[in-house]
């Protein structure tokens, strides 16, 4: 493990905590599972932190005080647990970033805003500092491998303890966006979009955008959002999860929000600061939350394929392990007959939710972590089995989906090239 000097005068306690981590990266020889982490690909590394982890040391799932990264500049075997010698790590600079004990709301579901060199931890904070980050964010520079507490321009924007909102980043322009969650757009309050800009790493800025007319935001909880480089400044697509604008009717006491239909795609035009609702057609996915999504662009940017995987259906009491693709600009959902999914070797009733998707160079969706569940024949939540509370080597911590063939790979390969998959061209056309 590597420890780097901190220029910001944080407390002696935190400094001691960081230094105490020096002897080793991880708790066991292999990383088995990850849950509710924040992730970002910056340069040729997949960074992840916060949330909860299992290692092959016999311990149950627990949080850690480390930032981890997986190098993506060479092939990596993802057929099972990942040897910790392949991981890099650094101590987290503040306990607010460690994540809470699963499944406490507010202790997970945070985000990394990121650009081409750095990432910034937002939301999902815990502890007394969680809502005191008003005009500062912890930033990690992947070139210097160092943390800094960065002062933000643009005034007070809190929501540090928000969680499970939808977020997306455009690393080329240093623009990131966050909307929804437990604190924003709750019962129709605080509805809008946080816009974060880090084009000047020494003086990043943010703003809370509320359109002057029309839709204020998608009122989304536990859904997904992706960025597409389409139009003058790009667009965001948000979908899935629950609507939080008003109390729903699908569930009884204890859960207030209805599931969103996947025919509803919320589109945000960044240049005009405008949200609008677009209807999608095709093979609509079953309603779900806690899914993950990633986007790939055709070589000529004539189309974009938004791949979703996994998720949770609270009404049916089951997890998903399927794959769908939303083709843009057709706004057509297509059910993918993916092959070689490692989760489904023993049973097709195994689901994975609370997972993350990161896309490498259009070619591969790197799925990290998630809660692994086995649905019962009765559909009774009381009979649901969770399979990764401790190290379970059957279900790998990382899965890699080839977005050209929709085949699950046993190795990540950084040299692959992307082409629009046949399952899309057969329905939509194009190349």
DSSP string across 327-383: EETTTEEEEE--B--GGGSS-TTEEEES-EEEEETTTEEEEE--EEEE--SS--GGG
- pLDDT level of residue 378 (50, 70, 90 thresholds): low
Q: How far is CA 316 from CA 256, 348, 421, in A?
A: 16, 16, 31
Structure tokens at 267: 């589109």
CA-CA distance, 39 to 109, in Å (whole number)? 10
pLDDT digits (tens, 9 = 90+) for 264-312: 999 999 999 999 999 999 999 999 999 999 999 999 999 999 999 999 9
Neighbours of 233 (CB within 10 A): 14
Q: With residue 13 as reference, give the H or E element that holds it.
A: helix 12-19
Picking from 258, 243, 269, 86, the residue whose alpha carbon sits closest to that of residue 180 is 243
Contact indicator for 151, 120 with CB cutoff of 8 Å: no
State the pTM of this model: 0.91
Contact indicator for 281, 333 with CB cutoff of 8 Å: yes
- pLDDT level of residue 213 (50, 70, 90 thresholds): confident
Q: With residue 425 as reference, give the H or E element that holds it.
A: helix 422-425
CA 181-323-407 angle, to 5 degrees, is 135
Percent of the chain, pLDDT > 90? 69
CA-CA distance, 111 to 48, in Å (whole number)? 10
Strands, sheet with 356-360, edge to edge from the N-terminal-most edge strand: 356-360, 364-368, 398-402, 407-409
Picking from 82, 60, 58, 119, the residue whose alpha carbon sits closest to that of residue 369 is 82
- pLDDT level of residue 203 (50, 70, 90 thresholds): confident
Structure tokens at 141: 């520079």
Structure tokens at 56: 């092959």
Classify residue 222 by its DSSP letter: S
What phi and psi values does residue 312 have, to the nearest 5 degrees? Answer: -135, 135
Position 73 scores a pLDDT of 97
Please state which of the ranges 148-157, 354-363, 384-393 shows the lowest mean pLDDT. 148-157
pLDDT of 240 over the 60 cut: yes
Position 182 scores a pLDDT of 86
**Which single residue is written with the structure tokens 């080839």?**
402
Cis ω before 103 (30° cut-off from 0): yes
Q: How far is CA 129 from CA 13, 124, 137, 161, in A?
A: 15, 11, 11, 9
Beta strand 82-83 with 30-35: parallel, antiparallel or unpaired?
antiparallel
CA-CA distance, 183 to 47, in Å (whole number)? 26
Q: Which residue has the higher pLDDT, 363 or 381?
A: 363
Classify residue 164 by its DSSP letter: S
Position 400 scores a pLDDT of 98
Structure tokens at 377: 């024949």
CA-CA distance, 309 to 290, in Å (whole number)? 10
pLDDT digits (tens, 9 = 90+) for 186-201: 666 678 899 999 977 6
Q: How far is CA 177 from CA 100, 157, 243, 350, in A?
A: 23, 13, 18, 32
pLDDT digits (tens, 9 = 90+) for 122-158: 988 877 666 666 688 899 999 999 999 988 888 777 6
CA-CA distance, 352 to 2, in Å (whole number)? 32
Burial 234-250 (b: 16+ CB within 10 A, else e): bbbbbbbbbbbbeeeee
* Domain spans, the chain: 289-431
CA-CA distance, 231 to 333, in Å (whole number)? 21
CA 216-163-305 angle, to 5 degrees, is 65
């Amino acid at each position: 493990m590597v420890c780097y000097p901190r220029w910001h005068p944080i407390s002696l306690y935190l400094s001691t905590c960081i230094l105490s981590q020096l002897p080793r990266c991880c708790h066991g020889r292999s990383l088995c599972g990850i849950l509710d982490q924040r992730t970002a690909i910056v340069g040729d590394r997949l960074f992840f932190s916060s949330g909860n982890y299992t290692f092959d040391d016999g311990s149950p799932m627990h949080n850690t005080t480390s930032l981890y990264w997986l190098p993506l500049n060479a092939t990596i075997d993802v057929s099972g647990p990942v040897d910790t010698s392949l991981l890099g790590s650094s101590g987290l600079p503040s306990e607010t970033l460690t994540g809470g004990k699963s499944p406490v709301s507010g202790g997970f579901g945070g985000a990394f805003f990121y650009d081409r060199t750095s990432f910034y931890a937002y939301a999902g904070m815990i502890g007394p500092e969680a809502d005191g980050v008003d005009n500062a964010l912890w930033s990690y520079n992947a070139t210097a491998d160092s943390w800094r507490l960065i002062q933000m321009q643009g005034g007070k924007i809190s929501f540090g303890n928000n969680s499970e909102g939808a977020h997306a980043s455009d690393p080329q322009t240093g623009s990131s966006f966050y909307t929804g969650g437990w604190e924003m757009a709750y019962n129709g309050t605080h509805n809008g979009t946080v816009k974060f800009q880090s084009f000047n790493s020494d003086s990043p800025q943010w703003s809370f955008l509320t359109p002057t007319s029309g839709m204020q935001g998608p009122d989304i909880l536990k859904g997904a959002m992706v960025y597409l480089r389409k139009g003058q400044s790009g667009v965001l697509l948000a979908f899935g999860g629950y609507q939080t604008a008003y109390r729903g009717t699908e569930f009884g006491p204890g859960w207030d929000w209805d599931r969103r239909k996947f025919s509803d795609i919320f589109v945000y035009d960044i240049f005009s600061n405008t949200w609008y609702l677009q209807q999608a057609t095709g093979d609509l996915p079953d309603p779900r939350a806690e899914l993950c999504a990633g986007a790939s662009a055709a070589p000529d940017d004539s189309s974009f394929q938004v791949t979703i995987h996994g998720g949770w259906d609270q009404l049916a009491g089951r997890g998903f392990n399927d794959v769908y693709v939303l083709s843009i600009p057709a706004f057509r959902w297509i059910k993918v007959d993916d092959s070689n999914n490692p989760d489904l070797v023993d049973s097709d009733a195994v689901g994975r939710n609370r997972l993350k998707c990161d896309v490498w160079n259009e070619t591969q969706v790197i799925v990290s972590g998630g809660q692994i569940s086995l649905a019962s024949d009765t559909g009774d939540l009381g009979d649901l089995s969770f399979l990764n509370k401790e190290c379970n080597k059957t279900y790998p911590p990382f899965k890699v989906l080839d977005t050209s063939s929709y085949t699950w790979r046993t190795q990540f390969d950084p040299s692959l090239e992307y082409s629009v998959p046949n399952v899309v061209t057969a329905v939509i056309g194009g190349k």
